Each structure stands twice: as structure tokens, then as C-alpha cells.
Amino acid sequence: MRPIDGIDLLLLDLDGVVYKGAHAIPHAVEAINGSGVPAAYLTNNAARTDTQVADHLASFGLAVRASDVVTSPQAAMNRLASHVPDAGRVLVVGGEGITAEIAKRGWQVVRKASEQPHAVVQGFAPHVSWTDLAEASFALQRGIPWVATNMDWTMPVAEGIAPGNGTLVSAVHTAVGRMPEVAGKPERPIFQLAKERFGASSPMMIGDRLDTDIEGANKVKMKTLHVLTGIDQARQLIAAPKMRRPDYIVQDLRELGDDYEVPRETLEKSTGNVFFEVGRAAVKRSGNRVELLRAGERHVDTVRAACIAVWTSDFNIHGMHIGKEILEL
């Protein structure tokens, strides 16, 4: 069986799945275009509009319209809809990705608590300052609704890993003593919005982060595929709690249309040892010990075998002894 079989919509994360920095990830564009399945793109990035994201993706050779992009600000607007009246005021901490969506609703963007906003929406933008966080704090002390586009603690930039929106939300939380409602991954609103917009009955989320892409899709019972071209690698996969375990693990998106080999499991009755094999990769589990017997010809085969050995154990990961060769995958 291929990962793509029975799927009527691909939901793709961006950075780490489609591109990395300024460049498309090798084979990603060709695989998406050649999949034969409609594609949509889910992003927690609140700094850009759907049109800006679509233009960026189109520059790589993908056929993308703005309506194919589902953003966390769009999901945030749905959460605010019952709280903000027609022509109501929304205090924005963030940039154009949020303000463009507010304009579509006919609401007013305000930046100061003294303008008596009906709600606060907070998302990342590079220009967000202490003054912006303070104004949000002042407004929220009146008890009005607060929606965050996402709670990503970090974000990748050209220079390395930088603080994300979750870090800035935490600063406001410290001041006001409560947490916002969250619209983006891994929370349900952005996934529900995507399903409703495209009318998909069997979508599959493709991501590179277990704590946002995979956990969020698992919450709404979507199929999940983790690609090893981005953030989370073997160590994170092996240690993943149940809610963050994907249905499929692939090296890159070329494997969307390939037969997916189910790990072979063999019990040695005389010892109770269990062996897990994918391709040439072989991993042994003896009680709470897991060790690599033979690496696969492909890195991803070894990762899959190790994951299944750990995930099917009766032991919690913290009570297991994982071999050094597996930890270093």
C-alpha cells in the first residue's frame, strides 16, 4: 500500500516540507505536482498573507492559489467571529497576515488598549515590540477574548533558531494571568477550517514537526505522514508519545507514491526477544532493551524499525534502555 492511497487531499506544512529557507526541498515540488491528489498548505506563520504565501510557493513551480493556503490568522478569525460585532475593533499584536484577514471581516484594526477593543489577536511579526505586548496586556485586563494564532516556541530563520510566537504570548500571559485560545497547529481550529474549505473526507497531513503537524492532525483523526527533511529526526520520532506518532515516516516526498513496507515482527519464543525488520534493517527488543542489529540500506528503514520496536513496547520510553547506535541515528 502507498501512503497516498485513499487520500483525497494533501495538507502540507511549509518550512521543512516544501522548502527550507530560500530553496525548495529536493524532490518536493515534483512529488506534489505528480501526486494526482489536490494539495493545500497549512501554515502557523501569521506574518504573511495567503496571497504572499501562494506567490512564494508558485515561485518554486507549484500551482497554488491564495485559496489553497490555510493560515493560522484565518483560523483565529473564526474563533473571534462570535465575540466581535460588525465593524468591531480588534487589537492586533502582529502584522499583515492578521490585519488582512481582519479587513476581510469588516473589523477595525486598533493598536492601543485605550481604543476599547472587543478582542485581542496575537501573532508573530518581526516588528512586535514591548509596547505591543504591553498594550495587549492592558486591554486583556478588562477580560476581553484573546486568541493567539499559534504557540510555536521557536521558529527557524536564516541565522538559526529564534523565539517564536509562543514566547511572546508567554510574556503577555505572565502579565495577565490567563492563556489565550489558540487557533493554529496543533489545535483543532486550523485543521477543521481546512477540512471544511476543501470538503475533504480523507485528508492526510504531511509535516516535519511532531508537536504541531502530527499531533494536531492526530487530534482530528487525520492520516499523518512525517518527512525527514525538516526539524524532527530519528531521536524525536523514537521517543514520541502516542499522540505524536505518524502513520507513515518517509525520507522525502518521493515516497508518497511508493509501496510502504510494513515492519516485519518476529517473536523468538525461547527467549521472548522480538525482532523488527524493514528492508535490511533489523532491531531487537529484549524486555525493556532495544538495540540495533543491522542498519538498513536506507536510513529511513532503520528509523522505522527502531520506532516500531519502541512504540509497541509495554514500557514507557523513560524506562527503556535504547542502544547507542539507535540514539545516534
Catalytically active residues, by annotation: 13, 15
241-261 burial: b if 16+ Cβ within 10 Å, else e: eeebbbbbbbebbebbeeebe
Amino acid found at 230: G
Q: What does R_g of the chain's alpha carbons equal in angstroms?
A: 22
Handedness of CA 255, 260, 264, 265 (dihedral sign): positive
**What is each CA distance from 246 to 249, 254, 321, in whole angstroms?**
7, 17, 23
Angle between helices 130-140 and 165-176 (to 10 degrees): 40
Cα distance between residue 223 and residue 246, in whole Å: 8
Handedness of CA 248, 252, 256, 260 (dihedral sign): negative
